[in-house]
Structure 1
Amino acid sequence: MIAANVMTTSPVTVNENTPVFEVVDLILNLKISGLPVLDSDGTMVGIVTEGDLLRRRELGTEIKRPYWKELLFSPGRLARDYVQSHASYAGEIMTANPLTVSPEAPLDEVISLMENHNIKRLPVVKADQLVGIVTRVDILKALHTIWVRDRDNESADKKKIDDESIKNEIIERVQSQPWAPKSNIRITVNNGVVDIDGVIWDENIRAALITLIEEVTGNGDIHDHLVFIEPITGFCIAKQD
């Protein structure tokens, strides 16, 4: 999946001369966290977000530093802080030259950028023109669409799967996972109910095994008999159903 598959096309934008109060109106009315900023030629030059509007003189939230600390900052830095809290137009408070992605950017790359830079949205640009925007909500919508599609497909093609097939698929998936204790567990299936026995050295492995089984069976009919052995003390804890 790529950015073009999930992005919002024709996103709402503002221009450099849009008053700040209109930016706030749009953010509140549209229930979004930021807006691309375009210049007079329609080229994206920045993005203004909720974060750009938190330190405002109207709120009394301008950055206030002790005099001695201000001596550590250049006049230019102090001037930028003043503009951020007092400016009247989007172009003055926006984040210039924001991160962007192309429509062909893989979705995992988009998500990595969001995670690494702690941002909620990425403009999608082609030939210097804004063609869309990808937000965290857009990604969740794509996930929801996949879930609904898969659920509908399962309902349309639903058939009874025998216990041996369920067991074999679980074992096959366990064998493919680098974290799984392949030689320390035993799987049995009876009337669709899965029993899992064995030894683990990390409770995260228990959670992962249960998740894997639920992916195969589509339900929580699992009897967990795994024994946790604390690796340092050797203390054993058996799961109680």
Structure 2
Amino acid sequence: MAVRDFMTRKVIYISPETTIAHAADLMRAQDIHRLPVIENDQLVGLVTEGTIAEASPSKATSLSIYEMNYLLNKTKVKDVMIKDVITVSQFASLEDAVYLMFKHKVGILPVMDSGGMSGVITDRDVFKAFLHISGYGEDGVRIRCQVKDEAGRLSKILAIISEQGYNIAHTVQIETSPGMVIIEIQIEGQVDKDLLHEKLEEAEVEVESILPTVAKRI
């Protein structure tokens, strides 16, 4: 999985000369929380709801509403933006992007290659990627089973399912404890749950559940 497969390509951005009042209005209108700052086709910074809040007068200030509005309309993005921006390549793995977000405690990474920005990858993009990978929102059946963490165990389970003529859409494996793993398999369409349960148990696979899933718009 590469960043380019999940990144947002249509990016809303602002210039360093934009006022923080306008930047805040734009965020509200577009329902976004961060804006890349571009100058001469180059990324020069990032402004977020947090940086705007820090630059805005406190509620405890003695300034009048007119003075506060004047200040917000006078202060430029370049005065409050984050200049040391963490970026990622579109060719990097999605896991690399998630690691960078986690390590640096950020919710957005501009996607940069050869000096140009081709998009952004955000925490919402990562959430959507997780739902896609897990098969959430797709019509079918999900099998959850627990097995020993042994070489070839997953291939045997998939072979049993395939032998019944079912199409496997997604597979997720989770280590729960040393020597044991949970395997979740999304199957397209409907299945004979009782027969499939029997076949898996015969192969010493502990089946926790076989449940239908309903198509949902993500």
TM-score (norm 2): 0.61
Q: Paired residue for 1:121, among 108, 119, 129? A: 108
Higher strand share: 2
Contact (CA 8 Å) 1:54, 1:61: kept in 2 or not?
Answer: no
Q: Which residue does the alignment assign to 1:104?
A: 91
**Number of aligned residue pairs:** 160
Contact (CA 8 Å) 2:55, 2:80: kept in 1 or not?
Answer: no
Q: What secondary structure, in the 3-state scheme, does the structure 2 residue paired with 1:124 have?
A: strand
2 CA distance for matches of 1:213 and 1:119? 39
Shift in alpha-carbon separation, 1:49–1:57, aligned structure 2, 3 A:
closer
Q: Paired residue for 1:179, among 165, 177, 180? A: 177
2 CA distance for matches of 1:17 and 1:142? 34
Shift in alpha-carbon separation, 1:57–1:125, aligned structure 2, 3 A:
closer
2 CA distance for matches of 1:5 and 1:137? 14
Contact (CA 8 Å) 1:56, 1:86: kept in 2 or not?
Answer: no
Q: Which residue does the alignment assign to 1:75?
A: none
Please identify, of 106-115 and 85-94, the stretch whose mean Cα deviation from structure 2 is larger. Answer: 85-94
TM-score (norm 1): 0.56
Q: What secondary structure, in the 3-state scheme, does the structure 2 residue paired with 1:142 have?
A: helix
Q: What secondary structure, in the 3-state scheme, does the structure 1 residue paired with 2:37 have?
A: strand
Q: What secondary structure, in the 3-state scheme, does the structure 2 residue paired with 1:119 have?
A: coil
User: What stretches of structure 1 of length at least 5 have no aligned partner?
Assistant: 63-84, 183-189, 196-211, 221-241
1 CA distance for matches of 2:11 and 2:122? 11
1 CA distance for matches of 2:138 and 2:31? 29
2 CA distance for matches of 1:151 and 1:88? 48
Higher helix share: 1
Q: Which residue does the alignment assign to 1:186?
A: none
After superposition, residues 20-169 of structure 1 pair within 5 angstroms as 20-39=20-39, 41-60=40-59, 88-148=75-135, 151-152=138-139, 154=140
Contact (CA 8 Å) 2:20, 2:73: kept in 1 or not?
Answer: no
Shift of 1:132: 0.3
Higher relative contact order by CA 8 Å / sep ≥ 6: 1 or 2? Answer: 2
User: What stretches of structure 2 of length at least 5 have no aligned partner?
Assistant: 62-71, 152-174, 181-193, 213-218
Provide Cα deviations, 1:181-213, integer angstroms capped at 9, x if missing partner.
56xxxxxxx873999xxxxxxxxxxxxxxxx95
Shift of 1:148: 4.2
Root mean square deviation, CA, Å? 3.6
Q: Which residue does the alignment assign to 1:7?
A: 7
Shift of 1:149: 7.5
Q: What secondary structure, in the 3-state scheme, does the structure 1 residue paired with 2:177 have?
A: coil
Q: Which residue does the alignment assign to 1:19?
A: 19
Provide Cα deviations, 1:124-161, integer angstroms capped at 9, x if missing partner.
01111111000010111222233448944x46xx9xx9
Shift of 1:31: 1.5
After superposition, residues 182-201 of structure 1 pair within 5 angstroms as 192=197
